[in-house]
Amino acid sequence: MISVSPTSSAPPASSVPSVSSSSSASVPYPASAPASPLASAGAPAASVPHPAPGFDGLVARLRAAGCVFAEDEARLLIDTAPTVAELDLMVGRRVDGLPLEQVLGWAEFCGLRIAVDPGVFVPRRRTEFLVERAVSLARPGAVVVDLCCGSGAVAAALAAALHPAELYASDVDPAAVRCARRNLAPLGGAVFDGDLFAPLPGALRGRVEVLAANVPYVPTEDVGLLPPEAREHEPLVALDGGADGLDVLRRVTTEAPHWLAPGGRLLVETSERQAARAAGVMADGGLEPQVVHCEERNATVVVGTRP
């Protein structure tokens, strides 16, 4: 169910589903969704039949490490590993707490297989809602920019749906930039290493129709409450949104009107409890905000339109 919130009262003024290997305190900024990793992975590659030799032992090893969907994870690991020796190494990494997607080397996102390198932010299933909203609002062939791009999953999904005339992305994390280039180069996308808009070509000013910015939105004091997979194996810069979680959004919103085309839209993901303040930040920046929520994914997106 999708709900659209009015913003007239907004006050002025952040795959395979990630599987948490251990529980953590409940916070309204879930870093991973404990859903079955086979829910959207499609048919497994033809490799080792299931149950494979030692399958039960592998499942027991994963379950003992706290993997909620141990059998599903075992199948994915077996299907991905090229050799028995590599399988043992991959299982060891997973047992040590690495996110499943980083162990596999890929995540399923919007029906695409996105490469995910160790240390790179893992794309979340709830962020598919941001992509869907962007696609519903944009025209085919639009000029698309993905800020805080991480692996480039959002840009790749937008490219698949919109076939943009121009596709750009940026991230401040060099590891993310390398990973995003692997994912976006075949799609004709250009990925820049730098802070937000700074590395983008100046010729884009006033021409961007879709500006996706999956900014970090976890308040600094809540980062320690995130699951270990996120806080120990993903870059802090992709998680920490400052004192109230909206610091990076403020910076994006300040510059966005200079880059958006008339009628262009900025789309950001946030938590439901931050949505009204995020909409206020956009309004203060001269954009017309709208808050949209998807109950199924527990996803909240704020859309800001340049008048």
- Give 183-210 pLDDT, tens digit per residue: 999 999 999 999 999 999 999 999 999 9
Domain boundaries, the chain: 2-18+121-305, 55-98
- How far is residue 7's CA from residue 284's CA, in Å, rounded to a whole number? 12
Q: CA-based angle 122:257:10, to the nearest 5?
A: 80
- How far is residue 229's CA from residue 17's CA, in Å, rounded to a whole number? 13
- In tens, the pLDDT along 204-223 reads 999 999 999 999 999 999 99
- In tens, the pLDDT along 19-48 reads 333 333 334 454 444 343 533 343 333 344
User: What's the Rg (C-alpha) of the chain?
Assistant: 19
Q: Which fold has domain 2-18+121-305?
A: Rossmann fold (3.40.50)
Is 121 within 8 Å of 238 (Cβ atoms)? yes
pLDDT at 37: 54
The crossing angle, in degrees rounded to 10, of helices 55-64 and 70-80 is 120
Question: DSSP states of the chain as a string?
Answer: -EEEE--TT------PPP--SS-----SS-S-----TTSSS-SPPSSS-SSPTTHHHHHHHHHHTT-TTHHHHHHHHHHH-SSHHHHHHHHHHHHTT--HHHHHTEEEETTEEEE--TTSPPPPGGGHHHHHHHHHHSPTT-EEEEES-TTSHHHHHHHHHH--SEEEEEES-HHHHHHHHHHHGGGT-EEEESSTTTTS-GGGTTTEEEEEE----B-GGGGGGS-HHHHHHS-GGGTB--TTS-HHHHHHHHHHHHHEEEEEEEEEEE-GGGHHHHHHHHHHTT-EEEEEEETTTTEEEEEEE--
Q: Name the band, by pLDDT with cuts 50, 70 and 90, for residue 4.
A: low
- In tens, the pLDDT along 127-153 reads 999 999 999 999 999 999 999 999 999
Question: What is the residue-averaged pLDDT of the chain?
Answer: 87
- In tens, the pLDDT along 47-66 reads 444 445 488 999 999 999 98
Bridge pairing between strands 260-270 and 299-305: antiparallel
Structure tokens at 203: 């010729």
